[in-house]
Structure 1
Amino acid sequence: MSKFIHFNGKILPADAPLVSAGNRGLRYGDGLFETMRVVNGRIVLQDLHFDRLFHGLSVLQFQCPPLFTPQYLADAILALCHKMAIHQAARVRLNIVRGNGGLYDPENHAPQVIMEAWPLDVPPGLHENGLVIDIYDQARKHFDVLANIKSNNYLPYVLAALYAKQHRLNDCLLLNTEGRICDATIANVFWIKDSRLFTPPLSEAGVGGVMRRYLVENTAGQYPVHEEPLTPGMLEQADELFLTNAIQGIKWVGRYKEKAYGNKLTSLLYDQYIKRLWV
């Protein structure tokens, strides 16, 4: 399969040089990214992705031209998938950076766009054996305007992912500056206690995940999500634990330290709310 990328409105070979050494995305992490699942020519949870993206662009004070719209980006994503002959399922990474310049003198504030796409073979499931996770506590997330956006400055998650790989874990949970759990390296966290569903509020400094938002908004009638702070000690008391993101949907956690979890309600949530997204 030929490999291509999208760069500022053009589809180019994947190995084409794109940015200079003066790019602010390289220098300062000045940008945002979205990772999306495309299924049969449809971007799963498209509106939620672009709502988060454009909120982040506003927070970072990008100046978007009139034609830079969610529809423009959606059309470009599907065009890239078509060019790469990915007709069933794809993982797409949309990266937006500000461009060249120093810290005080950017050449402009317009977004530069880089898109990549990879084929996906099968719809994701719950993870048959359950994830094995732990907590990474060497980098803490702050309660600030950047906490909920998917910025290119992703170092706490990078370090947590390295820790997970070194210790043969499937993922790691991250803490905020108060020592409470905010999210995981590539996912939001939910827990179940006495058949009640919980997740940390975004005020706890986690990324505002689109799958998290989808569940909060769509399970309210049957399984309302209670947004409450989560401490490491509470993990030992939970009955079930699962992680969510836009590519994998729900992944249940089988073990945290010596604590083992079931997945009865997690499986019901997956069957009722997630499976239909992959069709």
Structure 2
Amino acid sequence: MLLLVPADPLRPARPDEHFAGEARAARDAGVAVAVVDHDVLARGGDVDRAVAKVPADDDAVYRGWMLRSEHYAGFAEALARRGVAVRTDAERYRRAHELPGWYEALAGVTPESVWTVGAERTEFDTARLALGAGAAVLRDYTKSMKHHWHEAALVPDLADAEAAWAVASRFLELRDDEFAGGFMLRRFERFTSAEVRTWWVDGRCELVGPHPDTPHDVVGDPDLSAVAPLVAGLGLPFVTVDLVERSDGVWRVVELGDGQVSDLPRTTAPVRLVEALLGHGVQCGSRPV
């Protein structure tokens, strides 16, 4: 395996400090590490220059900042020109990274959702009416604004067209040019537990820990019996699945993401993630998976 991480913008020969621990853990495990220029990749600039320091390898895994799906595709193409095969190709990255890519497969274990293509008011209203009455949570294909919960995430009543559009407008303002794909409206469900981030390699859950937003939460093993076969069926090589317990005791998927651009909580040792990627992890929990 070859681990690719973003370069430090001020010291381009070194890994970005945020991913330096993972780079050290990989090298300690005998894994080669190379840096790429994330800023160039994120702009869709000279991608060949961005990957100029990457040696040829047939199993490269990126661990870095989020990339738009189209920019990841350019990244993968530039790597291929250098004889580098990424474990997650562009099509599977999009399926994991964008909620419409995985929603149908996990519809039974995640809140009911509808979405638009683009940000037009008429499309938003069509989606809003399709979901029906009640509260919903707004996001786009790749990200929510949950830290702006009342102004740009929670739609208290889908029947209130003007109030719902006010939330969507604020969301657009905050996301600005990072808005991805279209609006997603997800039916509000009442959750009672801390959010748990699980890490899956080749369809197997290899690591369980807290969510990066709440790294000091003590989390137990979620019940994966309903979720595991569905995640495995997606055929995605490296993903995270964030779960939370609903008020009726059922564990629900709140997010699936590509593992390459999912943040690792600072309380989780980087070596555990490296071991999982190498196939040396310990399968999650004691409940059936």
**TM (normalized to structure 1)?**
0.24
**TM (normalized to structure 2)?**
0.23
Higher strand share: 1
